[in-house]
Amino acid sequence: MAKKDIDWSNIGFGYIKTDKRYVSNYKNGAWDEGALIEDDKVTISECACVLQYAQTVFEGLKAYTTEDGHVVCFRPDLNASRLKDSAARLEMPTIPEDKFIDAVVKTVEANIDYVPPYGSGATLYIRPYMFGSDAVIGVKPANEYQFRVFCTPVGPYFKGGAKPITIRVSDFDRAAPHGTGHIKAGLNYAMSLHAIVDAHNQGYDENMYLDAATRTKVEETGGANFIFVTKDNKVVTPKSSSILPSITRRSLIYVAEHYLGLEVEEREVYFDEVKNFAECGLCGTAAVISPVGKIVDHGKEICFPSGMEEMGPITKKLYDTLTGIQMGHIEAPEGWIKVIK
Ligand code: PLP
Ligand code: COI
């Protein structure tokens, strides 16, 4: 077997169909064994709970080719545990951690020729997801579920890769207090589609959402958490019960403290203080760390001193250390790297 003939360095963040995907079905209170299949089509009832009432949750993680030629993935146990929390909030069954990790490993192994080579700038994005698959017409959870994992090679989430982006403060809210902002449910993304299309139409790369209750505190974007750097090199990241607990952000906090000796504050961040920060970045599996050069708040611009050409110096150190750990040339903390091959 040989690597697929793909122009790895020039792919964007899009879907490329790979050879195999994993499927397991839940019925009568239990998951079946699960299997790899070739068919990329899903067949379910026209009245499936996912189609009528959006009962679906998902995860996103990546596999990397390391410098010494292994294929690894990053902290899949945290994705398993977050999927469990997401599923519980939507009254869906749990996928046990060992089943989740086994499914991820099997899917990557079965599509090993699609794992981009070391140094190409591309990675293999892995998408585990679960949905209510049997018919319900009254508003209630499904009785039957399907868990699937597929993967697709991807390049940078934002066009231009590490070039700073421009975002705007959104007039739309992403998540209500006591709502579902802290879980990875499809419904959070459905309601962000209008906001992202509108942002793109107005020339912005993303939306900065503020807290829905007071519109004074920074929450997150549609697909990533924020990290800020103060002028005296402290890393500051918003704390909120209505944002997704990003695995990248949690890892960066550890990297900042333990690898770079930086002070980190995880706290409420008022929008009013954003203009005082030296650097801003979006962090997530897809985004990695995407630097933000400018935030526009209804015509008022906040331009970070790091500018529109490059990442700020602390953001760059965080980026290099995290990706160094993922690509195997910086030693990882115990348990962060799962070797697949
Ligand atoms: N916030 C949202 C809304 C996301 O969709 C994602 C992506 O998964 C993140 C944050 C980043 O989370 P993670 O670092 O676990 O990928
Ligand atoms: C991720 O980073 O895994 C995401 O889910 C972000 C986006 C593609 C929705």
Convert 226-255 into a string of H (helix), E (strand) and C (coil): EEEECCCCCEEEECCCCCCCCHHHHHHHHH
pLDDT confidence of residue 147? 98
How far is it, in rounded angstroms, from Cα 52 to Cα 187? 12
- pLDDT band at residue 159 using 50, 70 and 90 as cut-offs: confident
Residue 183: closest CA among 77, 79, 76: 79
Q: Which residue has the tokens 């793909």?
A: 6
Residue with CA at minimum distance from ligand 1 atom 1: 224
How many Å separate Cα 201 from the centre of its chain?
23
Residue 224: closest CA among 273, 286, 316, 274: 286
Residue 264: closest CA among 226, 313, 228, 317: 228
3-state helix, strand, coil in the chain (%, to 5): 25, 30, 45
Angle between helices 76-89 and 97-110 (to 10 degrees): 120
User: What are the residues facing 73 on neighbouring strands?
Assistant: 63, 338
pLDDT confidence of residue 24? 98
Please confirm, yes or no, whether 184 is among the known catalytic residues.
yes
How far is it, in rounded angstroms, from Cα 169 to Cα 295? 7
pLDDT confidence of residue 196? 98
Residue with CA at minimum distance from ligand 2 atom 3: 60
Residue 323: closest CA among 86, 126, 156: 156
**161 pLDDT more than 80:** no
Q: Is the CB of 288 under 6 A from ligand 2?
A: no
Handedness of CA 118, 157, 12, 339 (dihedral sign): positive
Residue with CA at minimum distance from ligand 1 atom 11: 284
Measured from the Cα of 223, ligand 2's closest atom is 6
pLDDT confidence of residue 7? 94
* Interval 208-223: pLDDT, tens: 999 999 999 999 999 9
* Interval 300-329: pLDDT, tens: 999 999 999 999 999 999 999 999 999 999
Q: Report yes or no on whether pTM surpasses 0.95.
A: yes
Residue with CA at minimum distance from ligand 2 atom 5: 60
CA-based R_g, the chain, Å: 20
What percent of the chain stands above pLDDT 90? 97
Residue 86: closest CA among 200, 244, 240: 244
Angle between helices 76-89 and 247-258 (to 10 degrees): 140
* Interval 82-135: pLDDT, tens: 999 999 999 999 999 999 999 999 999 999 999 999 999 999 999 999 999 999
* Interval 234-275: pLDDT, tens: 999 999 999 999 999 999 999 999 999 999 999 999 999 999
Average pLDDT value for residue range 43-59: 98
Handedness of CA 318, 77, 59, 237 (dihedral sign): negative
Q: Is the CB of 220 under 6 A from ligand 1?
A: yes
Summary mean pLDDT of the chain: 97
* Interval 165-202: pLDDT, tens: 999 999 999 999 999 999 999 999 999 999 999 999 99
**Amino acid, single-letter form, for residue 41:** K
From 20, 106, 184, 217, the catalytic residue: 184
Q: Is the CB of 284 under 6 A from ligand 1?
A: yes
CA of 225 to the centre of ligand 1 (A): 6
Q: How far is CA 207 from CA 152, 199, 204, in A?
A: 25, 7, 8
pLDDT confidence of residue 156? 87
pLDDT confidence of residue 160? 73
DSSP 158-207: STTTTS-EEEEE-SS----TTSSTTS-BHHHHHTTHHHHHHHHHTT-SEE
**Amino acid, single-letter form, for residue 163:** K
pLDDT confidence of residue 1? 64
Token couple for 133: 């698959």
CA of 261 to the centre of ligand 2 (A): 29
Element counts in the chain: helices (H) and strands (E)? 7, 17
CA of 223 to the centre of ligand 2 (A): 5
